[in-house]
A and B are shown apart, each in its own frame.
Chain A
Amino acid sequence: MKSSRQLEMLVGVFMAIGMVALFFLAMQVSNLGTLHTGDSYEVKARFDNIGSLKVKAPVTMAGVEVGRISKIGFDKERFQALVTLSIYAEYDAIPQDTYAKILTAGLLGEQYIGLDPGGSDEVLKDGSEIEVTQSALVLEEVIGQFIFSKAQEGEK
């Protein structure tokens, strides 16, 4: 049997290694380290088609993440998707007439929302709505349009 001191130290080392491994997994492997914990405000946007956009997808501006999608709903009256974006509080000077479009990371990657700033002096506040939006690119529709236009060319 090991002496009491040695035993305590070895068990201590074991516990420490386990904790370090958990900490490493949390901070380096998962999104806990990059998670935004500050305040944010909510902005709404309506889209005709959101494609495969998911809750928690990033909202970017010039490629930098400025927020996350917090909710996706359906507007029963206008038959549109109602997306709630939660923008981090430090980005509080985004113009009112900003243009929101759904983009795809890479050819088959995940979809996210890109914001193009407008020129208005008024800024987006909690509860305001982005008026100008562009739907997601749905591959079938693009191919369909391409075939349709080719067929029309052939008729001429």
Chain B
Amino acid sequence: MTGLLARLGRSGIIFLRHLGRATVLLLHILASMGEVLRRPRLLLEQLFSVGVLTVLIIAVSGLFVGMVLSLQGYYILSQFAAEATLGVMVAASLVRELGPVVTALLFAGRAGSALTAEIGLMKATEQLSGLEMMAVDPVRRVLTPRFVAGFISMPLLAALFSALGVLGGWFVGVGLLGVDDGAWWGQMQARIDWNEDLFNGVIKSLVFGFACVWIAIFQGYNCLPTSAGVSRATTRTVVHSSLAVLALDFALTALMFN
């Protein structure tokens, strides 16, 4: 019994220590933002590996999620003879929820895990210590450009996801199921508010991007410098990011669309 209690307390203390360390790391990264302006080349490389390489999976998923939404929505809405609102349903669920959330989950799996593995391996092979030996701050040189790249990429990827989802839904709804083209776009434009729906979706994806890269970078920087440690840190990145995104999504939705 006491053993159980002691272990619980221990994991609580470890959690708090990690949270504190992650916060210090975040402050360190935010304080060294100037590095990105001084060496834009570093950011460019990271935008490529974090953003450009993630485009394909986001584009394909967005297209298919939109198509499935349209198909399922049509099945329900046609029972009420309300197929004309299919466009509104597809666009609203994509722009408000699925766009930011699914993009963040895919981002954590594709880019977040890669970030953690890369940084963890740099730590395990003592490249980060090597940088420190040369009086180069690894947080400034290695972590900050990655953080900024993730933060910039996420809203763009989420917008791409939603846009392709709407087009995929349009292809299925209007092209295959015979919903009226004018009703699809007209009702959508009448009901989706640029401020309430679209802008809040963008804010969501900014918050998710922040959380995902923060977790990924911290896990990489904090991992045990062994192969098992790197592999565990990579897994933790995906699990923690996904949970953080889903929990944040609930909180943000409750705040924004009450």
- On A, residues with C-beta under 8 Å from B are 1-2, 4, 7-8, 10-11, 13-15, 17-22, 24-26, 28-35
Contact = CB atoms under 8 A, between A and B. Distances in A.
Going nearest first, the 3 A-B pairs with the smallest beta carbon separation are A18-B156, A21-B163, A32-B194
A31 B160 contact: no
A25 B198 contact: yes
Contacts of A24: 163
Contacts of B159: 18, 21-22, 25
6 contacts: A7-B45, A22-B202, A26-B198, A29-B163, A32-B194, A32-B198
Q: Could you say which of A2, A26, A30, A33 has the most chain B C-beta atoms within 10 Å of its C-beta?
A: A30
Interface residues of B, number: 31
Contact of A35 (B47, B95, B194, B198): B194
A8 B43 CA distance: 11
Interface of B: 41, 44-45, 47-48, 51-52, 55, 91, 95, 153, 155-157, 159-160, 162-164, 166, 185, 188-194, 197-198, 202
A131 to B, nearest CB: 30
Contacts of A30: 95, 189, 192-194, 197-198
Contacts of A19: 156
A11 B189 contact: no
A29 B160 contact: no
Contacts of B52: 10-11, 13-14
B118 to A, nearest CB: 14
Residues of A contacting B: mostly: helix
Contacts of B48: 2, 7, 10-11, 14
Nearest to A14: B52
B155 to A, nearest CB: 8
A82 B55 CA distance: 51
B192 A31 contact: yes
B127 to A, nearest CB: 16
A102 to B, nearest CB: 18
Contact of A29 (B44, B51, B156, B188): B188
A124 to B, nearest CB: 25
A14 B156 contact: yes
Most chain A C-beta atoms within 10 Å of own C-beta, residue among B41, B189, B191: B189
A4 B45 CA distance: 9
Given A15-B156, A18-B159, A25-B162, A34 B189 contact: yes
A31 B193 contact: yes
A112 to B, nearest CB: 10
B16 to A, nearest CB: 37
